[in-house]
């Protein structure tokens, strides 16, 4: 199982089968959580990350958001 490093505010490492599994991890750790549903959470998160580093983030699926995070340097596969 690959190991990922998330660098968004803090630097955290986690194991996941796909990069898209970062979404539930972020929902658990985010101060606002994901009480309004996963799609709305992904949208809000994409907006926050865009403001964070000016990158483009797609949020139509978990995998699209994770791929955008990888392209913009916030998520990386380390193992």
Instruction: State the pLDDT at residue 33.
Output: 61
Instruction: State the pLDDT at residue 17.
Output: 92
Instruction: State the pLDDT at residue 28.
Output: 82
Domain count, the chain: 1
Q: What pLDDT digit, counting tens, does each position of 4-56 carry?
A: 999 988 888 999 999 999 998 888 877 666 567 889 999 999 999 999 999 99
* Domain with 21 in it: 3-77
User: Helix (H, G, I), strand (E, B), or coil: what is residue 54?
Assistant: coil
Instruction: State the pLDDT at residue 32.
Output: 65
The whole-angstrom separation of Cα 62 and Cα 48 is 16
Instruction: State the pLDDT at residue 71.
Output: 96
The whole-angstrom separation of Cα 72 and Cα 38 is 21
Longest dimension (CA), the chain: 33
């Amino acid at each position: 199982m690959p190991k990922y490093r998330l660098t968004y505010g803090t630097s955290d490492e986690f194991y996941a089968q796909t990069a898209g599994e970062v979404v539930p991890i972020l929902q658990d750790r985010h101060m606002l959580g994901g009480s309004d549903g996963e799609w709305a959470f992904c949208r809000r998160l994409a907006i926050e990350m865009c403001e964070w580093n000016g990158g483009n983030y797609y949020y139509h699926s978990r995998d699209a958001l994770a791929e955008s995070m990888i392209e913009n340097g916030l998520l990386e596969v380390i193992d």
